[in-house]
Amino acid sequence: MWFVARRARMFGQDETTGRVFITDTTLRDAHQSLFATRMSFEQMEPALEMLDDVGFFSLEMWGGATFDAAIRFLKENPWERLRRIRAKVRKTRLQMLLRGRNLVGYRHYPKDVATKFIELAAEYGIDIFRVFDALNDPANLELAVSIVKRCGRIAEGAISYTISPVHTIDAFVQFAKQLRDMGCDIICVKDMAGLLTPTAAYELVSALVDEVKLPVHLHCHCTSGMAEMAYWKGIEAGARIIDCAISPLSGATSQPATETFVAALASTPYDTKINLAKLRPIAQHFLKVRQQLEEQVGRPRSFVDVNVLHYQVPGGMMSNLIRQLKEQNALERLNEVLEEIPQVRADLGYPPLVTPTSQIVGIQAAVNVLFNRRYATLLEETKDLINGRYGKLPGRVKGELLERAQKSAVKRLEEPPITLQQARQQKGVENDEDAVTYALFPKNWNLYLQIKKKSTIECE
């Protein structure tokens, strides 16, 4: 079969062994989950060649919130960050997180924008595209996967894992088969909130290995304290790749520590073949970076939070929710907002909580609490979610909310997304990466131009 040859190319001589591979998330999801995506390229750069020398399956270092955050908060050109990382990392695959039709933004974008974005990312050095949809709607993934494959890159299709009356092992397996049939090379179980129990991990991975017959990649967060156990049982069931972060940026709402699994799997059939000594200087560097980020952003929660099993808030959502409530001088109401989230999620048809649905559900819950009345204000984004603008919801929407959203949809005139051709006409656009950036984040355009100009001057 076609995927057997692809698997051999991905795993080399270890294709038929039990070796477990590690994707390191330090440069992307680790700091997105713990520090609201505030790690700068300057903080990453000293460790890049050391990371490249470890022998990771891949480095997740781009996509997700990093594109937007680089421009808005770090005053960096995200395209330049990708090019500079690729220049330093020559041996290890670079991996990004792609939000399906939402790319790295928060709405569906036109086909020409999606095509050019993925083509540029591949040209500048991305080897693996982890493609996911917040609603696990195949229609939102087909275009992105087809472009990734046309570019000759590895497509990793992700299941947004969640727990609800409508999410079952069989439903996840059927979705994974659809991802395989689209052309995905790897299936990722994306457990963004740390909900995957060891038993569920074993059952789900076993079913995926037996029925889908693609390599399984586990991505878990430590929020509930179960990630390490879920990884272990998932590995026993046949998972080939796990996501980890270097120890100073691991744990809590981030991923398990890289060093822990390198040590735990050593001298077993799952040995990662990574030299633990190579990780020590990397950890020392990122300990300093963590201290800098704590001064800049604040110290994240460092303890196991079993309440996440109830409110299902992923790491990145938690750090941003805390920041947003701080800005409203309402941090003392965090627990009320967390308690409100499961009710809002159920009312909206049980969407998995991952970008953009996590933001929509989280903000609606916060508004409910701050207004002291549930749905006194129904946000436009909430109406869009109900009306299918983000894809098909997995469950039924509460009748009253469905009626309100549908009435609003008749009156509302949505501003159409910007096409690539329209973006090319914008003042200041000089090339395709400029045009794509404008199409994705037109509100950030002037800031992006300032960053680009500053970068040009510094290079001169």
Question: How many domains are there within the chain?
Answer: 3
pLDDT at 414: 65
pLDDT at 170: 98
165-179, 244-258, 397-411, 417-431, range with the lowest pLDDT? 397-411
Q: Are residues 258 and 401 in the same domain?
A: no
Residue of 160, 93, 162, 105 whose CA lies nearest to 129: 93
Chain centroid to Cα 401, Å, comes to 29
Q: Does residue 8 belong to any structural domain of this protein?
A: no
The total of other beta-carbon atoms located within 10 Å of residue 387's CB is 16
Residues 6+ apart with CB under 8 A from 343: 365, 374
Residue of 148, 166, 168, 169 whose CA lies nearest to 157: 148
Q: Which residue has 């940026």 as its token pair?
A: 249
pLDDT at 63: 98
Q: Are residues 206 and 84 in the same domain?
A: yes
Provide the CATH number for the domain around residue 100: 3.20.20.70
- Is residue 135 helix, strand or coil? coil
Q: Does residue 7 belong to any structural domain of this protein?
A: no
Q: Does residue 5 belong to any structural domain of this protein?
A: no
pLDDT at 17: 82
Question: Could you read off the pLDDT of 289-332 as tens digits, one per residue?
Answer: 999 999 999 998 788 888 888 888 876 677 778 888 999 999 99
pLDDT at 413: 56
Taking 60 as the threshold, does the pLDDT of residue 2 lie above it?
Answer: no
Question: Could you read off the pLDDT of 59-82 as tens digits, one per residue?
Answer: 999 999 999 999 999 999 999 999
CA distance between the termini of the chain? 52
Q: Are residues 145 and 77 in the same domain?
A: yes
Q: Are residues 320 and 212 in the same domain?
A: no
DSSP string, 70-93: HHHTT---HHHHHHHHHHH--SSE
pLDDT at 308: 87
Q: Are residues 445 and 357 in the same domain?
A: no
| Omega of the bond leading into 356 within 30 degrees of 0 (cis) | yes
Taking 60 as the threshold, does the pLDDT of residue 457 lie above it?
Answer: no
Q: Does residue 226 belong to any structural domain of this protein?
A: yes
- Check residue 447 and report its DSSP letter: H
Distances (CA, A) of 270 to 22, 188, 199, 264: 11, 19, 19, 9
Question: Could you read off the pLDDT of 444-453 as tens digits, one per residue?
Answer: 999 999 999 8
Q: What is the reported pTM?
A: 0.92
Q: Are residues 147 and 292 in the same domain?
A: yes
Mean pLDDT of 381-397: 95
Q: Residue 446 sits in which domain range? A: 420-458
Taking 90 as the threshold, does the pLDDT of residue 215 lie above it?
Answer: yes
pLDDT at 377: 95
Residues 6+ apart with CB under 8 A from 108: 101, 102, 140, 389, 390, 417
Query: In 58-145, which ranges are E strands?
Result: 58-63, 93-98, 128-131
Q: Are residues 257 and 114 in the same domain?
A: yes
Tokens of 243: 């996501």
Question: In the 3-class helix/strand/coil scheme, how is 203-242 assigned residue by residue?
Answer: HHHHHHHHHCCCCEEEEECCCCCCHHHHHHHHHHHCCCEE
Residue of 86, 144, 77 whose CA lies nearest to 452: 77
- If residue 424 lies in a helix (H) or strand (E), which one and from where to where? helix 420-424
Residues 6+ apart with CB under 8 A from 140: 100, 101, 102, 108, 133, 390, 391
